[in-house]
Structure 1
Amino acid sequence: MLQRVYDWIDERLDITPMWRDIADHEVPEHVNPAHHFSAFVYCFGGLTFFITVIQILSGMFLTMYYVPDIVNAYESVRYLQSEVAFGMIVRGMHHWGASLVIVMMFLHTLRVFFTGAYKKPRELNWVVGVLIFFTMLALGFTGYLLPWDMKAYFATVVGLEIAEAVPFVGELAATLLAGGEIIGAQTLTRFFAIHVFFLPGALLGLMAAHFIMIRRQGISGPL
């Protein structure tokens, strides 16, 4: 059945050459675990991408039940966990995945640095990777407030105080994030919008650029 659907689409859009161009790509010998034990360190980037996909899919599920206002936010999270089928599992995946993706990205960044993969001609890809790292950190920060419990509230207070301490632009940045002088309804709405719309859009654009450059330049060689 799936083959017939694929053939129907391929007959009209001719997607097979495009798919082969993506899939039929030689993998260097030094990233093959069968030949080199250290090849596992080259898996960190792929694992980061895999966890990111899980974060996107689980986040889409969570937004179907989450209510981004200070009256209903906490109750919507409680309802999701206690009343929705598999809600606790999906939220747990999203919660722990937010930490795991940072760990895997940090390990991937270390691999790139210690193998010299940031050097010519991959300097621009390194810059894009660093921007992806900061985007992930921003996603973690903005998502932390959304359950609207005491821990999330005071963690956001600390985070905004740190942002306010940045020279020149810190006070303005903190005010824009908070939506005013206090952390309240405007803050929660802005964090939700940034977390669900602005940052994912930036992340997808950066990841597309990252993968295109990897495709053009190939996987970096060993140290």
Structure 2
Amino acid sequence: MRKLYDWVDERLDITPIWRDIADHEVPEHVNPAHHFSAFVYCFGGLTFFITVIQILSGMFLTMYYVPDVENAWKSVYYLQNEVAFGEIVRGMHHWGASLVIVMMFLHTLRVFFTGSYKKPRELNWIVGVLIFCVMLGLGFTGYLLPWDMKALFATKVGLEIAGSVPFIGDLIKVLLAGDDTIIGAQTLTRFFAIHVFFLPAALFVLLAVHFIMIRRQGISGPL
């Protein structure tokens, strides 16, 4: 492993980059050995860890999922019952979708109650809220993909809520569903595209901005 690292470092000079990332002093108030309350500062890292699991498990699921009304449920059934470890991976993705929202909510509460959203971190707070919205969007769009009755009726309720937004509600509903009268093939295709392409792209950009600002501004102080 060391020889491989030296070989890459000789050609790309990655050591200064790695040292800039790794050689970062951690404040004493986030060290659980000194402060019991420091564990609340782990919520952000745990949220990112679960997000990585969601990305990896989602990549595995897309290898078998077929986003059309004839084969969507069949592909999920095949994945869960015929593919090796498919049930485990789908279970990780299913429960991880709920857990990542819970952890992000706890992380948001920690940031709010410790005042970490204040100057000079206002922009990072805004980015964090946008990440939260993207995560909620991922949860909503992913719920329809199994194409069962529960997903169908839950999505119908969600679209009705979106349609109740003043002035632009009908536009949002048609944009998501493809049709303002029925949830069908266009709806499934659009939800799949939004879930797999558009929202993950936005998430990657927002996470990069979030981490860059954390790196520049450092970890916030205690309450």
Q: TM-score range by the shorter chain?
A: over 0.9
Hey, what does 1:186 align to over in structure 2?
Answer: 186
Deviations 1:38-75 (A, max 9, x none): 00000000000000000000000000000000000000
Matched residue SS, 2:59: helix
Distance in 2 (CA, whole Å) between partners of 1:6 and 1:152 is 47
Distance in 2 (CA, whole Å) between partners of 1:55 and 1:23 is 25
Number of aligned residue pairs: 222
Hey, what does 1:198 align to over in structure 2?
Answer: 198
Hey, what does 1:218 align to over in structure 2?
Answer: 218
Unaligned runs of 5+ in 1: none
Deviating above 4 A after TM superposition, structure 1's stretches of 4 or more consecutive aligned residues are: none
Distance in 1 (CA, whole Å) between partners of 2:175 and 2:36 is 49
Hey, what does 1:83 align to over in structure 2?
Answer: 82
Distance in 2 (CA, whole Å) between partners of 1:20 and 1:95 is 37
Distance in 2 (CA, whole Å) between partners of 1:168 and 1:125 is 30
**Counterpart amino acid of 1:220?**
S
Distance in 2 (CA, whole Å) between partners of 1:186 and 1:217 is 44
Hey, what does 1:16 align to over in structure 2?
Answer: 15
1:4 positional shift: 1.4
Distance in 1 (CA, whole Å) between partners of 2:7 and 2:184 is 53
Give the alignment's TM-score, normalised by structure 2.
0.99
Hey, what does 1:155 align to over in structure 2?
Answer: 154
Deviations 1:118-145 (A, max 9, x none): 0000000000000000000000000000
Distance in 1 (CA, whole Å) between partners of 2:192 and 2:129 is 23
Matched residue SS, 1:57: helix
Matched residue SS, 1:66: coil
Distance in 1 (CA, whole Å) between partners of 2:74 and 2:9 is 47
**Counterpart amino acid of 1:183?**
I
1:29 positional shift: 0.1
Residue 173 (1) aligns with residue 172 (2): yes
Alignment of 1:18-167 (within 5 A): 18-167=17-166
Give the alignment's TM-score, normalised by structure 1.
0.99
**Counterpart amino acid of 1:89?**
I
Distance in 2 (CA, whole Å) between partners of 1:28 and 1:5 is 33
**Counterpart amino acid of 2:69?**
I
